[in-house]
Amino acid sequence: MNLRLIVFASTIALVLSAVVQPWPGVAQESPVPAWRLVGSDPVTYFGVKAMAPPLIHRYAEEGLWDWDQLVLDLRVNPFYVRGDFDGDGATDVAVYVLVRASGFRGIAVLHGSVDKLRLFAKHESPDALFFPGHPRIEEFDDAFVGNYLQIHAAGTRIEPVPCSELGNYPGCEDAPFTLQHEAFEAVMFGRSAAVFVWRGDRYVTFVTAD
C-alpha cells in the first residue's frame, strides 16, 4: 500500500479517537468505535464542533448551548435546515440533537437574533426539564420530531389533518392557511409529519400527515 496513504489513514484514526467520546452508560470497546448504542439505536456520536452551523457557536458564546448536553445527531443528512422561521430577515436553524441526559432525539431551534434556544424533545415528565430555571432556554415536551427535516417556503399552503382524526386534542387547529414566512417540517418516513410555524412569540405545531 502507498506509504502516503497509510500515513493519512493513521492520522484520521488518531483524530477520530480524540474527538469521539463515549455515550454515558454504554459499554466501551477498544479502539473506540464511531457507533454507539443508546438502547438498540445506533448513534454516531462525534463531538466535532467544526460540523456545527455557525449560529450554534454564537449561541454557545451567549451561554445558550451546552456542547456536553446537546449532541449533534449526525445520523441524518442533512442534520439541520436553515430558513427565516420568524420572519425577521435573519437566518434561523433547526437542528437534530441527542439529549445526553435522556438519550432522546430532539429538535433545537436557534434564531438568528440569538434571543432564546428552543428545544423540542421528549421528557420523562413535563416537569423534568433538562435546563431548569434557564431564562433563555425554552423546553417543550414534544415526542414527535420525525426522521428528517424539510423547509416550506413562504406562500406554501398548509392543510393540517382534521382535528377529529387526531382525537380533538386541546389546542388543535386544522384550518388551512398560507405560510407568511418559511417554516420547517419534521417528517416520519411514510407515516406522519408536523410543520412548526412561528406565531409571533412561540411555535405552533400542525400535524400535516398521520
Shared domain for 195 and 98, answered yes or no, is yes
d(CA 123, CA 175): 29
Same domain, 33 and 69: no
Q: Do 127 and 172 fall into the same domain?
A: yes
Same domain, 115 and 156: yes
Q: Are residues 142 and 39 in the same domain?
A: no
The total number of structural domains in the chain stands at 2
Cβ-count burial 180-205 (b if 16+ within 10 Å, e if not): ebbbbbbbeeeeebbbbbbeeeebeb
Q: Which amino acid is at 118?
A: R
**pLDDT tens string 160-182:** 999 999 898 888 889 999 999 99
Q: Decide: 190 and 142 in contact? Cβ < 8 Å.
A: no
- As a whole number, the mean pLDDT across the chain is 79
36 & 103 share domain = no
Q: Average pLDDT for residues 16-29, to the nearest whole number?
A: 35
Range of the domain at 28: 3-43
Is there a single domain that holds both residue 39 and residue 59?
no
Residue 1 pLDDT > 80, yes or no?
no
Confidence of residue 210 (pLDDT cuts 50, 70, 90): confident
Looking at the fold, whether 60 and 149 belong to one and the same domain comes out as: yes
